[in-house]
Amino acid sequence: MFIDEVRILVKAGDGGNGCLAFRREKFVPRGGPSGGDGGRGGDVTMVSSKDENTLLRYRFNPEHKAQRGRHGEGSNCKGLEGKSVELRVPVGTVVYDDESGEQLFDFTEVGQTFLAARGGRGGRGNARFVSSTHQAPTEHEAGKPGLERHLRLELKLLADVGLVGFPNAGKSTLISRISAARPKIADYPFTTLEPNLGVVQMEDYRSFVVADIPGIIEGAHLGHGLGIQFLRHIERTHLLVHLVDMSDTGRDPVEDFEKLMVELASFNEDLARKPMFVVASKMDAAQHRERVEELRNLAAARELPFFEISSATGEGIPELKFAMSERVLAPASAVETKGESWSPA
């Protein structure tokens, strides 16, 4: 099960109380106050791990509490510190404060650590209040409470290329042709119910990651179809590949392109401005060549690279694969920023 958003409660341990104690023993020349300090409460930390790829473990286990510190004891014995809790999350997880909506941390690399809740400080025992004029203090402190937070965790897959398009545009078939990914493929809408990742290996041993997300339909930003909740997974991509179905479905390819761009802009305007390839898919089943030319002209008007492919026959796949690798693997200084910003017609 792919879970990409959860809400959790984290509670750091409270600090232990300081002790009030006096000591008077035979053969002990210096008696007096002997109350020890309380132990510090445990922390709740989050660590990004390459072994995690979903937030499923937190869907059914939403509360995470660290151990409180032990109270101080007599004979100047300090209380033990509480045990901390470490939460492992996938790389690409973004942590938000659920109440304010503030972004607290973004895990972009393996091994990053975020202190989600700090443990409370232990209270001081009465032995800490001794002075030359106050030799029998009875003051002692209570431990400080640990921080408690309601957090929202949102997973954004880390991919170089994002495949977008209407349902049955051929995204899953394409990712299965260019990578080892084996998503479910069928001839009905919304076959893909969750994002899929595929690693594309080039002949020069370079590689890049492609993300295939569930198809988007008109009105997705209003909750139609599967909605646009999966679009967060392509927000980090360097390139979008927009597949347009050219088979004889009775739909207008240019109109489909414009409608999907509206949905992208409704979710995030920056998403619609990303570098993009326009791909006419299913060319083996294309019946109307004039529609292909209309889509080509639209791409040319917006200065977007245009490709014709057929995942069934392999037509155009090598050229598209090479163009994607050149775009995402080239040095940043060598990448041209051509293409005008999209805006609704």
All structural domains of the chain:
5-155 (2.70.210.12), 161-334 (3.40.50.300)
pLDDT of residue 1: 55
- CA-to-CA dists, residue 109 to 49, 95, 112, 203, 268, angstroms: 9, 14, 6, 26, 24
pLDDT of residue 270: 86
pLDDT of residue 331: 56
84 φ/ψ angles, rounded to the nearest 5 degrees: -80, 160
**pTM over the 0.85 mark:** no
pLDDT of residue 132: 87
**Separation CA 109–CA 48 (nearest Å):** 7
Low-confidence ranges of the chain (pLDDT < 50): 332-342, 344-345
* Residues β-bridged to residue 134: 131
Q: Can you list the alpha helix ranges (DSSP code H) found in 140-288?
A: 171-178, 253-267, 269-272
pLDDT digits (tens, 9 = 90+) for 59-111: 999 999 999 999 999 989 999 999 999 999 999 999 999 999 999 999 999 99
pLDDT of residue 227: 58
pLDDT of residue 193: 62
**Mean predicted lDDT score pLDDT of the chain:** 86
pLDDT digits (tens, 9 = 90+) for 245-257: 888 777 788 988 8
pLDDT of residue 248: 76
pLDDT of residue 335: 46
